[in-house]
Structure 1
């Protein structure tokens, strides 16, 4: 027995489930595209965790983005229908912003800035 018919059948079933009327209708709504476009914020924050020097992190902006994500995590579950894609986006952003906040606090209040001599940069 060949596995080609089984693979073809599984492929067709998957395509029917993915490309059905209900899924396509969802893809063309703001319930989908809003969170997808919003993923730029957590992606940038994750990239900044790796590349941005701690002395350039804005504490007030990091706090604002942390609170923003917390509010919208709640909002994503308060609306009907619940928007789990938006929830996921803001969970990722919350984690990234908390990481940035920890770097900011560590640099400005625990070790970084106070350990360096005045007028010298790392």
Structure 2
């Protein structure tokens, strides 16, 4: 029988409670400078021709920062969607279906974004 202190230190029934909370906060904090960099990049290249923007994205530092943003943002998206589904969708089979669909959606967005950044930065 767990003591009150053990319950307070415990991570809940699945032993994963604070891990998801901190992962979401970490991605949120990582997104702040990365989104600011994205906004700066967009403002810097408003009205620029495609070749100029492609040359900008071909810079390895810029490409890595953009890929970092996509990774962090899609992880944050996946965690947020999962939390919404778990909190508001009732019924086991609907919840499981929605968890699969939102997981695949987040992965698809991340892969499509990464592919686009890589293709543009490599000159395709």
Q: Higher relative contact order by CA 8 Å / sep ≥ 6: 1 or 2?
A: 2
Query: Which structure's CA Rg is the greater one?
Result: 1
TM-score normalised to structure 1 length = 0.32
